[in-house]
A and B are shown apart, each in its own frame.
Chain A
Amino acid sequence: MIELYVLLGLMIAGAIIAIEVKNLLSAVVAVGIVGLGLSIIFLLLKAPDVALTQIVVEIAAVILLIRATLHRDIALKPCGSRPFGGFLAILFLGLAVLAGALTFSGGLNPFGSPLMTVSEFYPMNAVAGTGAVNVVSSVILDYRAYDTLGEATVLFTAVVGVLTVMRSKGKKKEEDLQGNNE
């Protein structure tokens, strides 16, 4: 279990570095540390499906971030300070801690052995019920296929949004805009 906490500490350090560092490339690499550490944690917690998905998505995200942000002039503007900002942050953090303490005051299951009341059904019956040896696959594509449909819809909407915002057809050209301004 000690390696889990080492990885967690590394991820927190990576997240803090990603926020604080001024160089964009260093920030992206630090974000990559967080994602890769998370995938190793998934592997240690015996969730290879999620670990595989996490590592490939993280690699794609880091490539996209590096190629999309590097060589761009992105000015770092210091944001204006808000009145009562620190007070509000402490207030909401305290409320969250209070709600958590009230919710979990009855005691939690130990880490790594979650409450299994509904999900007990799936490991017992999945192979006979669907014929898929990979129980995770049988859950996400058979028992809970609605979830997968929703996830696919989310991704579809994201792609449509990106293709719409970044389209080249139908946009006014820069010269036209300058001509209108003059």
Chain B
Amino acid sequence: MSKEHEHGMSVIVKTVTRLTVGLIFLYGMYIVLHGHITPGGGFAGGVIIALSFINLDLAFGGKVSGKVFSKGGTSLVEALGAVMFLALALMGLQYGGFFDNFLHPDGEPGDLVSAGIIPLENIAISLKVGAGLFGIFLTLIVLQKFESEKKQ
């Protein structure tokens, strides 16, 4: 690894990233929350959210987003998403069956608050996918980079 990768990329890249990374994150949130109305959903939105963190890492070097999100933090959030998804499925057992849509009568079709548990499942999947992908990125790239630094 060359020196510039450790401290991030050039000033141009850093400035553009600072301006756009929030918009990318917001777009991911929009895709997740509107998953039951427009194309998209938990998987795509979760990957976009993870990509916004990856964008930070690539532009500013590996140690910036590590302060926000450690490897253990990503594991925790990923497990939380999985447990939330399973808990939603199990709560349906009380009303009729596994994955029963027990919140369905609330809301008109087309509204943001509609479709029962589908938006909640989208949020759970986005937590799982986003944190899982970012954890893989941290493990495969950032931590390996630190190890190669130590060797040198």
Supposing A130-B101, A159-B78, A163-B139 touch, asked if A49 and B40 sit within 8 A by C-beta, the answer is yes
Contact of A131 among B48, B116, B147 (CB under 8 A): B116
Q: Mark A135-173, 1 if CB is under 8 A from B, else 0.
A: 011101110011011001001101100110010100000
* A side interface size, CB within 8 A: 39
Supposing A68-B141, A155-B129, A156-B132 touch, asked if A132 and B114 sit within 8 A by C-beta, the answer is yes
Tell me if B109 and A152 are in contact (CB < 8 A): no
Chain B binder among A8-16, A21-29, A52-60, A93-101: A52-60
Give A38 Cβ to nearest chain B Cβ, in Å. 15
Tell me if A137 and B109 are in contact (CB < 8 A): no
- Determine whether A125 belongs to the interface, using a CB cutoff of 8 Å to chain B: no
Tell me if A67 and B122 are in contact (CB < 8 A): no
Tell me the bound Cα distance from A137 to B35 in angstroms.
7
Give A114 Cβ to nearest chain B Cβ, in Å. 19
Tell me if B107 and A131 are in contact (CB < 8 A): yes
Tell me if B89 and A145 are in contact (CB < 8 A): yes
Tell me the bound Cα distance from A140 to B85 in angstroms.
13
Supposing A64-B141, A133-B109, A146-B99 touch, asked if A138 and B118 sit within 8 A by C-beta, the answer is yes
Residues of A within 8 A of B43 (CB): 53
- Determine whether B115 belongs to the interface, using a CB cutoff of 8 Å to chain A: yes
- Determine whether B29 belongs to the interface, using a CB cutoff of 8 Å to chain A: no
Tell me if A49 and B141 are in contact (CB < 8 A): no
Give A139 Cβ to nearest chain B Cβ, in Å. 10
Q: Mark B76-90, 1 if CB is under 8 A from A, else 0.
A: 001000100110010
Residues of B within 8 A of A49 (CB): 39-41, 44
Residues of A within 8 A of B86 (CB): 149
Give A49 Cβ to nearest chain B Cβ, in Å. 5
Q: Which of A132, A140, A141 has the most CB of B within 10 A?
A: A141
Residues of A within 8 A of B36 (CB): 132-134, 137-138, 141
Tell me the bound Cα distance from A144 to B100 in angstroms.
11
Q: Mark B7-42, 1 if CB is under 8 A from A, else 0.
A: 000000000000000000000000100011111110
- Determine whether B64 belongs to the interface, using a CB cutoff of 8 Å to chain A: no
Tell me if B115 and A60 are in contact (CB < 8 A): no
- Determine whether A71 belongs to the interface, using a CB cutoff of 8 Å to chain B: yes
Contact of B140 among A48, A51, A162 (CB under 8 A): A162
Q: Which 9 A-B pairs have the closest CB atoms?
A: A132-B115, A48-B39, A145-B99, A132-B36, A159-B132, A56-B47, A131-B115, A53-B44, A52-B44
Q: Apart from A64-B137, A130-B104, A131-B118, what are 8 other A-B pairs with CB-CB below 8 Å? A: A63-B58, A68-B140, A133-B36, A133-B37, A137-B35, A152-B128, A155-B129, A162-B139
